[in-house]
């Protein structure tokens, strides 16, 4: 793996979430100070970061991706401690296999996506995808709706006292 490959994946999967959260902090802090000065209740705000089971247990051939997603978990846990004073919960969802446009086409086919003017091949070997699905106790890959549901759970008021946690959305894969 080249330094460029390492850096590109960490930029997307770790540096970008950090920068977004860093930009949000002054806005959140100011809103909390304003509410406290006015004597009003500070609402519970939610941050749900996106990680992967590759970040909880590694994945062969994806040291960069695994490191980035493990970093998101560390960022989540640190910010849950730092932002609790603002009444912000910070959690993460670590996804297992989710069927997306990147997994729907066979590897080596003509599936491509455009990223900043570059055509990148996408796809997964169908035999590998079948083997991965057989290893999931629910017997299937997750859907985008499954993924959204896991994030939604951490946005509900019922989760207002849950912070610093990682919810695995993987159909029981790493139970």
Indicate which residues carry an active-site annotation: 65
Q: What torsion do the CA atoms of 11, 14, 19, 25 make, to the nearest 10 degrees?
A: 180
Confirm if 95 and 51 have CB atoms less than 8 A apart: yes
> What are the helix (H) ranges across the chain?
3-10, 16-38, 53-57, 63-82, 126-134, 144-153
> What are the helix (H) ranges across 47-172?
53-57, 63-82, 126-134, 144-153
Strand, coil or helix: 21: helix
């Amino acid at each position: 793996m080249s330094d460029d490959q390492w850096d590109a994946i960490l930029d997307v999967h770790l540096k970008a979430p950090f920068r977004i959260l860093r930009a949000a902090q002054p806005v959140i802090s100011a809103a909390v100070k304003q509410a406290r000065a006015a004597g009003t209740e500070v609402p519970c705000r939610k941050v749900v970061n996106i990680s992967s089971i590759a970040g909880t247990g590694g994945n062969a051939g994806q040291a960069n991706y695994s490191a980035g997603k493990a970093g998101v978990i560390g960022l989540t846990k640190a910010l849950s401690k730092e932002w609790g004073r603002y009444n912000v919960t910070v959690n993460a969802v670590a996804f297992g296999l989710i069927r997306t446009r990147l997994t729907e086409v066979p590897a080596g086919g003509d599936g491509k996506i455009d990223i900043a003017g570059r055509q990148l091949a996408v796809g997964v070997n169908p035999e590998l995808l079948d083997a991965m699905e057989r290893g999931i106790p629910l017997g299937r890959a997750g859907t985008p709706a499954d993924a959204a549901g896991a994030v939604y759970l951490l946005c509900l008021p019922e989760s207002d006292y849950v912070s610093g946690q990682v919810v695995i959305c993987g159909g029981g894969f790493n139970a």
